[in-house]
């Protein structure tokens, strides 16, 4: 095999790492050379070490007729730009409903004694939109990395935490060759499906991560990669981030990879629901209080459902559909479509802790905000704020301008709990009345 093809293969392997990190919203940059020498840490000031096991070559790998020598791995940075959408015409095999079907298949394939902790939907093995990258100056970048949807989630088995990361794509190229150090065995099934299994570790800046992976290459062009590690990515303390036990076996991973729902040629089953809509800022609440539990969420949802009875306004789903905010364990939110004629739009609710009561505005202060002066101070010490917003989006074409309107209500309680309710619409629809939004925000029981 030529060096050029080697580099293409290497970039694909490295790309799995880059894309998985990008799913967390982190931009990765830099160049590392894992090499193929002994597993030793180089002492380089201010440069984190990256160590992998010693690779022996030549070597026989079960299931491989030939084994190619290891090659250097280049790690480079990419960034995602623009709003990511499931409706990408470049990849017609993928959609929001396909993402839901794939996620349901992975969850169903997990062993019965494996659980997913209470996390936001995005962190619950939800397959995300295929990202649009700001492409680096790398030849064949789109061929190697384009069209990949990924999902990740924390796992717990026998009270030991770990994680699972998945990627699925459609590839119009041959199955990668067997390369020393990249797989432990290859299995070719009667239908031509190729399964590569690997059980290994990596060490970054002195911290070792154990991992097991299975990659599947299917006759319809589907490429699936499942990687389980002992890393608890919901743990902030580096000392407790690695459990020392991978929660899934290679057989468990093989069962997941072989689920037919993951293949690009498998149609979406009728009745598949759309994926949950992500909400929150992506940085979590400022509150440093205790993490919320499923019981807390059930309680808050029951309060909202009771408050919405007899409102006479149709919603796309129950108002009690709160979920954990993106990458947060102590704030909740939701986005619900309003379908009543004349008010079609979006109703959003978020509840966070750790907020301070707004100070009384001083009109003689240079920073005086007339909008803040509209705040109402309630008898219990809470502060209720109103805000209007209007935007017009126009284009250079003959398409009519789009007029958007929004009404926003924020209630901050002395306890630090802040409830935000908003209604946004596109003309000619009008937002829900302030009286309704305020009644929701001040509903008793919406305390964290």
pLDDT digits (tens, 9 = 90+) for 274-327: 998 888 865 544 556 678 999 999 999 999 999 999 999 999 999 999 999 988
Residues in CB range of 48: below 8 A, 6 or more apart: 204, 205
Q: How many Å apart are CA 81 and CA 84, to the nearest integer? A: 8
Upper half-sphere CA count for residue 424 (Cβ side, 13 Å): 12
- What does residue 214 show for φ and ψ, rounded to 5 degrees? -135, 125
Q: How many Å apart are CA 404 and CA 22, to the nearest integer? A: 32
pLDDT at residue 43 tops 50? no
pLDDT of the residue at 200: 97
- What does residue 170 show for φ and ψ, rounded to 5 degrees? -110, 120
pLDDT of the residue at 125: 97
- The SS3 call for residue 180 is coil
Counting residues of the chain whose pLDDT is more than 70, the rounded percentage is: 79
Beta strands in 231-305 (DSSP E): none
Same domain as 367, residue 220: no
| Structural domain that includes position 37 | 3-262
Tell me, yes or no, whether 285 lies in a domain.
no
Tell me, yes or no, whether 277 lies in a domain.
no
The residues facing 170 across adjacent strands are 222
Same domain as 102, residue 12: yes
pLDDT at residue 7 tops 60? no
Give the pLDDT band (50/70/90) at residue 154: very high
Same domain as 220, residue 111: yes
Q: What are 121-145's pLDDT values in tens digits?
A: 999 999 999 987 665 555 555 555 6
Q: How many Å apart are CA 291 and CA 4, to the nearest integer? A: 49
Same domain as 356, residue 238: no
Give the residue from 262, 285, 306 where a domain finishes: 262
Average pLDDT over residues 71-91: 70
Give the residue from 262, 286, 305 where a domain finishes: 262
pLDDT of the residue at 309: 93
116 and 106 Cβ atoms separated by less than 8 Å: no
Same domain as 239, residue 384: no
Which of 441, 399, 176, 211 lies closest to 304, judged by CA? 441
What mean pLDDT, rounded, does the chain reach? 84
pLDDT of the residue at 77: 58
Dihedral sign of CA atoms 56, 62, 68, 71 in order: negative
Counting residues of the chain whose pLDDT is more than 90, the rounded percentage is: 63
Q: How far is CA 121 from its chain centroid?
A: 8
Same domain as 40, residue 87: yes
pLDDT at residue 82 tops 80? no
pLDDT of the residue at 169: 96
**How are beta strands 114-115 and 50-51 bridged, if at all?**
unpaired
Average pLDDT over residues 87-102: 94
Beta strands in 218-271 (DSSP E): 222-229
Tell me, yes or no, whether 256 lies in a domain.
yes
Average pLDDT over residues 411-440: 95
Tell me, yes or no, whether 199 lies in a domain.
yes
Tell me, yes or no, whether 342 lies in a domain.
yes
Beta strands in 13-147 (DSSP E): 50-51, 79-80, 114-115, 133-134
Same domain as 205, residue 321: no
Tell me, yes or no, whether 271 lies in a domain.
no
Tell me, yes or no, whether 320 lies in a domain.
yes
Residues in CB range of 139: below 8 A, 6 or more apart: none
Higher pLDDT, 371 or 343: 343
Q: What are 326-365's pLDDT values in tens digits?
A: 888 889 999 999 999 999 999 999 999 988 998 777 777 7
pLDDT of the residue at 35: 39
pLDDT of the residue at 31: 36
> H or E segment at 201?
strand 194-204
Same domain as 227, residue 306: no
pLDDT of the residue at 85: 83
pLDDT of the residue at 301: 98
Cis peptide bond N-terminal to 58, omega within 30: yes
pLDDT at residue 27 tops 50? no
Give the residue from 262, 281, 312 where a domain finishes: 262
Tell me, yes or no, whether 99 lies in a domain.
yes
Largest CA distance in the chain: 82
Higher pLDDT, 400 or 313: 313
Rounded to two decimals, what is the model's pTM? 0.82
Highest mean pLDDT among 117-126, 128-137, 200-209, 250-259: 250-259
Q: What are 209-246's pLDDT values in tens digits?
A: 999 999 999 999 999 999 999 999 888 787 889 999 99
Same domain as 189, residue 314: no
pLDDT of the residue at 30: 35
Same domain as 170, residue 40: yes
| Total domain count, the chain | 2
Dihedral sign of CA atoms 63, 67, 73, 78 in order: negative
């Amino acid at each position: 095999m030529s060096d050029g093809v080697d580099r293409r293969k290497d970039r694909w392997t490295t790309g799995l790492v880059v894309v998985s990190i990008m799913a967390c919203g982190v931009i990765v940059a830099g160049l590392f050379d894992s090499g193929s020498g002994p597993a030793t840490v180089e002492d380089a000031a201010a440069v984190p070490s990256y160590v992998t096991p010693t690779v022996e070559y030549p070597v026989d790998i079960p299931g491989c007729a030939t084994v190619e020598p290891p090659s250097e791995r280049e790690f480079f940075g990419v960034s995602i730009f623009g709003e990511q959408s499931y409706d990408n015409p470049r990849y017609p095999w993928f959609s929001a409903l396909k993402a839901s079907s794939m996620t349901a298949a992975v969850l169903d394939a997990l062993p019965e004694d494996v659980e997913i902790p209470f996390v936001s939907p995005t962190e619950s093995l939800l397959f995300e939109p295929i990202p649009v990258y700001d492409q680096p100056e790398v030849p064949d970048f789109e061929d190697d990395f384009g069209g990949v949807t990924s999902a990740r989630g924390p796992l717990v088995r026998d009270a030991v935490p770990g994680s699972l990361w998945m990627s699925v794509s459609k590839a119009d190229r041959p199955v990668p060759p067997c390369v020393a150090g990249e797989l432990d065995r290859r299995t070719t099934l009667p239908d031509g499906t190729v399964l590569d299994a690997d059980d290994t570790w990596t060490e970054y800046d002195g911290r070792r991560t154990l991992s097991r992976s299975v990659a599947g290459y299917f006759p319809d062009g589907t490429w699936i990669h499942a990687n389980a590690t002992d890393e608890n990515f919901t743990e902030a303390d580096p000392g407790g981030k690695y459990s020392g036990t991978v929660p899934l076996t290679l057989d468990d991973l093989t069962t997941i990879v072989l689920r037919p729902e993951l293949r690009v040629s498998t149609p979406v089953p009728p009745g598949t629901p759309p994926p949950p809509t992500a909400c929150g800022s992506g940085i979590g609440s400022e509150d440093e209080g205790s993490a919320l539990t499923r019981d807390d969420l059930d309680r808050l949802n029951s309060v909202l459902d009771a408050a919405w009875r007899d409102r006479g306004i149709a919603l796309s789903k129950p108002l009690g559909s709160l979920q954990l905010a993106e990458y947060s364990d102590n704030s909740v939110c939701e986005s619900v479509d309003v379908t009543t004629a004349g008010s079609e739009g979006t109703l959003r609710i978020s509840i966070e802790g750790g907020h301070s009561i707004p100070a009384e505005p001083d009109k003689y202060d240079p920073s005086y905000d007339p909008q803040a002066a509209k705040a109402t101070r309630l008898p219990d010490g809470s502060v209720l704020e109103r805000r209007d917003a209007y935007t017009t989006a126009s284009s250079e074409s003959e398409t009519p301008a789009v007029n958007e309107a929004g009404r926003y209500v924020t209630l901050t309680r002395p306890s630090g709990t802040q409830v935000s309710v908003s209604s946004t619409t596109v003309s000619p629809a009008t937002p829900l009345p302030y009286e309704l939004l305020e009644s929701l925000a001040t509903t008793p029981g919406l305390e964290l």
